[in-house]
Amino acid sequence: MLRGRARRAAVSVLVAALTGVLAAGCGRGSSGGDGTSDKKPERFANSGQLPEHLAADGTTVVIGSSKADTVVRLYEDLRCPVCRDFEEDGGASALRKMTLHGEVTTEYTLASFLDDRLGGKGSKKAANALRAALEQGKFVEYHDLLFQEQSEEAVDGYTDAFLLRMASRVKGLRGAEFDAAVKGMKYRSFVTASEKAFEADKASGTPAFAVDGTLLKKDWWNLMFDAESVPLVVRMAVVSN
């Protein structure tokens, strides 16, 4: 990830590029004349209020307003330490704020390739548990907690006992149905299909980011780890698509 002067220089370049593109009035991000929309964004007070559902494709977890003009997709493996960096110390807070403000809809594709690479079943178990949490309308809160309490990559810490213990910290999540889904890998087919969707989209690894269906350019990837840069990256991606 970029640090210090290198990051600030990259942000400056991005700002200049964005300003030029928007000034030219091109792309989906421009507005004016008869094309200006009067609709107000749908806002939410906190993460617990965000709508969440499974898309028709059976693998995409959709968070936020259906009225948002822009869709940002995250590809994450729950055992990935760089994903945790993004969620805990990177641009996730800025993306969540944009989602709360109705500016974007956030989508998640859950990968599980690290189990095969490192051994164990933690990625698959965590993805299955998150799918069970989605059934209870608790995906966002549980997702955030699992990354917050992520073990070292090689430890394979997402055991049934750990997942249930973490679920106890999310109000309204634990129950006979959820517990059985975690212990019995009820959503195994979802986990498998989600990994295949990740592979089909040709993301180079996790985390990966797409805006309105287009993977971010490689030189913008680092900027997603800087909260101040995230809105600019998203806007630039919109006008460039």
pLDDT at position 79, please? Answer: 97
Residue 91 burial by Cβ neighbours in a 10 Å radius (0-12, 13-18, 19+): buried
pLDDT at position 15, please? Answer: 57
Q: What is the mean pLDDT of residues 123-141?
A: 98
Q: How confident is the model at residue 30 (pLDDT cuts 50, 70, 90)?
A: very low
* Lowest-confidence region among 113-117, 150-154, 217-221: 217-221
On whether the CB atoms of residues 53 and 193 are closer than 8 A, the answer is no
Note down the domain range covering 123: 44-217
In a domain, 237, yes or no: no
- Percent of the chain at pLDDT > 70 equals 84
pLDDT at position 199, please? Answer: 97
Q: Cα angle vertex 157, ends 205, 146, to 5°?
A: 70
Domain CATH code at residue 188: 3.40.30.10
pLDDT at position 217, please? Answer: 87
In a domain, 102, yes or no: yes
Q: Distance between CA atoms of 135 and 137, rounded to whole angstroms? A: 6
In a domain, 26, yes or no: no
pLDDT at position 40, please? Answer: 77
pLDDT at position 25, please? Answer: 43
Give the pLDDT confidence of 4-28 residue by residue, as tens digits. 555 556 656 665 655 555 444 443 3
Q: How confident is the model at residue 78 (pLDDT cuts 50, 70, 90)?
A: very high
Displacement of CA 145 from its chain's centroid (Å) = 14
Q: Distance between CA atoms of 95 and 49, rounded to whole angstroms? A: 16
In a domain, 30, yes or no: no
pLDDT at position 48, please? Answer: 93
Q: How confident is the model at residue 32 (pLDDT cuts 50, 70, 90)?
A: very low
Q: Any residues with CB less than 8 A from the CB of 108 and at least 6 apart, and which?
A: 60, 61, 63, 73, 74, 76, 143
In a domain, 135, yes or no: yes
Bigger pLDDT: 198 vs 31: 198
Number of domains forming the structure of the chain: 1
